Amino acid sequence: MTTIGLIRHGITEWNNLGKAQGTSDIPLNELGRKQATNIGARLREEGKWDVIISSDLTRAIESAQIIGSKVNLSISHYDKRIREIDCGEIEGTTEEDRLEKWGSNWRDLDLGMESFEEVGKRGIEFVNDMVHTYKGKRILIVSHGALIGLTLQQLLPSRFKKTYIENTAFTILENISGDWDCSLYNCTKHLM
């Protein structure tokens, strides 16, 4: 069995402001660093992990470094496939900004946003590669909310019609002989 622990990065100022981050390279804020410290401490208590991999965006890297320091792992590598959805022209805007600029049907316009299908597809390609590369290992992946959620929706469509991933939420995927199962979803007990 190969176990993949999916973790969304800690919170940023843009999260607080309701701005679409996408591939914009935004750092964690102080609360985001504390959240990463909390999930790292939790993971240290819950068992040994073999490897940690991060998206190449700063908010994920910072989160992975903090988590890694708690579980005694250095980041193995950074992978662009687990970046957040590219939000095109809406990056850096709030819902209010979008309504003002493009109107209430802004979601129907071509604003250069990556499709949900493409995001899920690269997420699935990535987790399948990890199972092949680290067969039988326990792998921590620090990524982004939409990437994690859309990957789950495509990987286990009967279970995940919709998803919402909290900052530093922990989700566990298990691959047993090629079959996927999700034994933990969007758990934030370390933030209580």
Q: What does the pLDDT look like over 76-101, one tens digit per residue?
A: 999 999 999 999 999 999 999 999 99
Mean pLDDT of the chain: 96
Calpha distance 54→40 (Å, rounded): 14
For residue 104, pLDDT over 90 is answered with: yes
For residue 192, pLDDT over 90 is answered with: no
Q: 2-88+115-191, what's its fold? A: Rossmann fold (3.40.50)
Q: pLDDT per residue over 160-180, tens digit each?
A: 999 999 999 999 999 999 999
Calpha distance 148→122 (Å, rounded): 11
Q: Residues with Cβ < 8 Å from 27, sequence gap 6 or more?
A: 12, 58, 59, 62
What percentage of the chain has pLDDT greater than the value 70?
100
